[in-house]
Structure 1
Amino acid sequence: MENSFEIETRTVFDRYQRQQENDDHIFDRLVSLIEEEYFGLPTGSFRGLDVLDAGCGSNANASYAFLDKGARNVVSLELSNDWMDCARKRLSRFGPRSALVAGSVLDLPFDDFSFDFVHCAGVLPHTSNPKRGFEELARVTRPGGSFFLTIMGTANGVIYRCINHLRELYQSDDQFRSSIDSLDASTAREAIDWLLRIKDGEEEEYIPGESEFFRSLFDDDLFVTIRDRFQAPTYHQFAFTEVQIRGWYGECGFDKVRRISRYTRNFHNLRRFLAPMYRHYDHPLARFWFGDGCIQMIGKKPRT
């Protein structure tokens, strides 16, 4: 069920996910996001499970984490076949426990109740029919199994309102689009070095080491995130709410539905100072900047 919309999205993501795979720090940071405690599970809970990593990305970092934690089988699913060479670089060490499958979350090529744990992070907002994708992911979750989802919330915070405006500008302004497309740590360092050279020539440091600290706030990991926010074909204007997603889980028969959050560690850039708001998404400061934030939810399908 691929269409031009999903294919364009996959092409954009493939570019920077290959960059993530080639950077050990970024890849290891992404792998570290998969931990039992975060999902509210005892240590070792993934051992022996059949896991679906839906919309795994070219680097398949979550698939790697599940396999490394002892999952019996992990199916990594993504559109087309073009991403598989990248994923195999990391996953080949796990042998037949790892399976790479071309397919769409809108029409999963699996029987009902195929997986003990279904993982889908940040994928549905980039599809033409997020609700259908959710229903498909719920369909393949086994009774007694869990389904984890991340999806962007409404754009009622300052940062997301700005991002939506700049996304429109990216589509309409050739010069701005060119600037974003060429944005990386190397070009940013040149601009930052120029900025600090002028500053340091005009006045002494107010805080010892301030220039080096300022430089440390920007790295490739940050610029990959920025390009993602602007280049991906859609985020459905950040139109989802926690109540809405809870409703989807309920309609598909899940219970013990929880919104979860964490303090995201190992950023080597500006996002180190945003991490407290990722963890405490309901704090007034977090609401001001991020609105509903990134909605991360997990539900359990009751045994019949």
Structure 2
Amino acid sequence: MQLNMFKGIIPAFYACYDEAGEVSLERIKNLSTHLYEKGIRGLYVGGSSGECIYQTLDERKATLKCVAENLQGKITLIAHVGAPSTKESIELARYAKEVGYDALSAIPPIYFKLPESAIEKYWTEIMDSTDLPFIIYNIPQTTGYNLSVPLLKRLLTNDKLIGVKNSSMPVMDIERFKAASHEDFIVFNGPDEQYVSGRLIGAEGGIGGTYGVMPELFLKAEEFISAGNFSDARKIQHDINDIIIALCSLNGSMYSVIKGVLKLSGINIGSVRGPLEAVTGEDIKKIDDIKKKIEEAIVKYQTI
């Protein structure tokens, strides 16, 4: 397997709804085409940004299929298949294989506080359900479980495990996971606020929830890092972080703000699904300021 296909900037794909709040295949196609034309390396479909825990299995399958039909063979496609039960996760894993995904990924089981042995069994059963490579999704701030090095080492005995999407905030976790694995093991930086530091400490690329609203900036950050231009890499991370803070500053879900920015840019993918909150009232007017902030940063770095 060519592991280089999993490196670089991989946006986490957003949930796309029509005006009635139902999954829209037309808008999925429009967004996936838009991101592809920006030059991204792949898409991570059906994860947190895809509002996976608020969608039915049929809706998740429809999204997986639509993205694959539009972009299969053009970029790397990773399907997030984490679901409330192992049965549902395996069903999604097999479907992702059927429609042409390159790899699978999953958060640990949610809601019940499970022993690590149950989490190990869950991820192992997903890996054993198809021949696709697998990427652990470590996001302890939402799941309540932080991947341990001993569990990672046990799971590495399965050749299908190729990486970790690490969204824990301590950047040291990336270094520890790299140290515990082998040369070909991939660690993706998860927190967008630390993309540059994550790359410098060992991550080969990133999967992020804000990449899709400003892919140009993350692609430029990766260009700076790859060229050894760490001074400009730090500067662009500073500007990215200012934008992320702005995206999180309004009343309503960050994803609602992102979707508002995209709509102003001509990419309408609807709003968010409850219980996520939409932006309302005076905050709606502030979305245009965030859009301008992104555009100014893109112009600032495009000639460097």
| TM-score under structure 2 length normalisation | 0.33
The higher radius of gyration belongs to 1
| TM-score under structure 1 length normalisation | 0.33
